[in-house]
């Protein structure tokens, strides 16, 4: 009788053991996919940590609008893949009086931030419509940021420099307006000054960080690298300019005033107040060119260059084009230096 009891006990223990094993098998089979998924997620997080130095990457890029290509290039250099940049001014258009199309204004309305430089077409055709487009659109006036570090320049300052020294009546007229600077007379071409571009890069970096603080390290490192490249090019330009004796040049549209300020050059513009010059002034510039042995007249492709060609013919010289609105700022600046190697011979 005792043996029968022991046999039943053994069978009961065996049955319990089978039940336990069955339950454990079910548990392990149900947990398997979660472990694999967790492992995959962990690997993905590890890759992200390596590529961004432990900075989480958010999904949507920041939508940014800018007036011209160079400013768009600055934003892309700082923001990288974290920004989607809309450049309003198309290639070949004039920054002075461009009227944006409805499509371009709609793209602007969808932006989160707009970086302004205070050029003519912005003041007249873009900024006044901002509120009606998107009341939540952020606007950073880069020209105002730069003006806090370096002084603004005005077109009338260039007119004072060289061409009217012998005309006292014109000087007296200009003196009356010496302190009457407004946005219409302000030179907006501040991106042609590398030292001012550094200020703009830092301002763009700070604004992107405010909008996307999780990726601050991306913007900081990108800005630092770009400023280093720009500084290296600036040093090369300074080295070249230090070898130049004749520092005067003639240009159709006065877009290199800030560049001239950076490198101690003297710019004379053919154009006056955004318009073709008078026959009298053109004659004065011809004499100025002959007296200073200037043989190259600069112009940019966005403007009518007929007067530049006329002047070049009169002095037995030639014209050369440059691209201040290029989407590749460092490349265009390097090309400009090559142009000046011909201009300042």
- Residues in contact with 168: Cβ distance below 8 Å, sequence separation at least 6, in sequence order: none
Claim to verify: residue 315 and residue 333 sit in the same structural domain: yes
pLDDT at residue 78 in the model: 99
The answer to whether residue 166 sits within a structural domain is no
- What count of Cα atoms within 13 Å lies in the side-chain half-sphere of residue 117? 29
Q: Are residues 84 and 211 in the same domain?
A: yes
Same domain, 229 and 138: yes
Residue 257 belongs to what domain range? Answer: 244-343
Tell me, yes or no, whether 185 lies in a domain: no
- 270: in domain: yes
Tell me what pLDDT residue 160 has.
55
Claim to verify: residue 330 and residue 292 sit in the same structural domain: yes
What is the value of pTM for the model shown?
0.78
Q: Judge whether 239 lies within some domain.
A: no
Structure tokens at 189: 């071409």
Q: What confidence score (pLDDT) does residue 6 get?
A: 52
Domain count, the chain: 3
Q: Is residue 157 part of a domain?
A: no
Q: Are residues 141 and 251 in the same domain?
A: no
**Closest to 202 measured CA to CA, from 113, 261, 147, 142:** 142
Q: Are residues 28 and 109 in the same domain?
A: no
The pLDDT, as a whole number, for residue 161 is 56
* 74-97 pLDDT, tens digit each: 999 999 999 999 999 887 777 767
155 lies in a domain?
no
Could you tell me if 214 and 290 lie in one domain? no
Whole-angstrom Cα distance, residue 33 to residue 39? 10
Whether residues 29 and 98 fall in one domain = no
Q: Evaluate whether residue 168 is within a structural domain.
A: no
Give yes or no: residues 74 and 122 share one domain. Answer: yes
Domain co-membership, 204 together with 309? no
Which among 129, 136, 137, 141 is positioned nearest to 71, based on CA atoms? 141
* Domain shared by 139 and 97, yes or no: yes
Residue 322 to residues 24, 173, 303, 332, 333: CA-CA distances in angstroms?
77, 33, 11, 8, 9
Residue stretches of the chain with pLDDT short of 70: 1-59, 96, 159-184, 274
Contact 191/185 with Cβ under 8 angstroms? Answer: no
Q: What is the pLDDT of residues 177-201, one digit of tens each?
A: 444 444 468 999 999 999 999 999 9
Q: Are residues 2 and 125 in the same domain?
A: no
Give the CATH number of the domain where residue 270 resides: 3.40.50.1980
Q: Looking at the domain assignment, is residue 183 inside a domain?
A: no
């Amino acid at each position: 009788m005792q043996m029968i009891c022991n046999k039943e006990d053994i069978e009961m223990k065996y049955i319990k053991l089978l039940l336990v094993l069955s339950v454990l098998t079910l548990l392990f089979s149900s947990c398997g996919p979660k472990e694999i998924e967790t492992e995959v997620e962990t690997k993905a997080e590890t890759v992200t940590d390596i590529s961004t130095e432990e900075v989480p990457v958010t999904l949507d890029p920041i939508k940014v609008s800018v007036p011209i290509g160079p400013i768009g290039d600055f934003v892309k250099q700082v923001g990288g893949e974290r920004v989607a940049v809309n450049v309003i001014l198309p290639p070949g258009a004039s920054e002075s009086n461009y009227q944006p199309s409805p499509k371009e204004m709609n793209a602007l309305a969808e932006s989160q931030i707009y970086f302004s430089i205070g050029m003519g077409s912005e003041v007249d055709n873009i900024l006044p419509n901002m509120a009606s487009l998107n009341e939540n659109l952020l606007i950073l006036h880069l020209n105002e940021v730069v003006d806090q570090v370096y002084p603004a320049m005005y077109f009338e300052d260039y007119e004072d420099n060289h061409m009217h020294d012998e005309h006292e009546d014109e000087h007296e007229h200009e003196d009356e307006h010496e302190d009457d600077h407004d946005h219409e007379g302000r030179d907006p071409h501040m991106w042609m000054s590398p030292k001012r571009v550094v200020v703009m890069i830092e301002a763009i970096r700070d604004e992107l960080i405010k909008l996307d603080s999780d990726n601050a390290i991306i913007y900081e490192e990108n800005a630092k690298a770009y400023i280093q490249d720009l500084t290296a090019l600036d040093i090369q330009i300074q080295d070249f300019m230090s070898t130049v004796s004749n520092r005067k040049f003639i240009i159709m549209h006065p877009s290199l005033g800030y560049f001239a300020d950076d490198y101690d050059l003297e710019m004379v513009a053919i154009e006056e107040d955004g318009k073709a010059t008078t026959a009298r002034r053109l004659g004065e510039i011809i004499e100025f060119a002959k007296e200073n042995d200037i043989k190259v007249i600069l112009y940019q492709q966005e403007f009518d260059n007929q007067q530049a060609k006329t002047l070049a013919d009169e002095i037995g010289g030639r014209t050369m084009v440059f691209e201040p609105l290029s989407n590749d700022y460092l490349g265009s600046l390097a090309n400009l230096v090559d142009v000046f190697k011909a201009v300042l011979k």
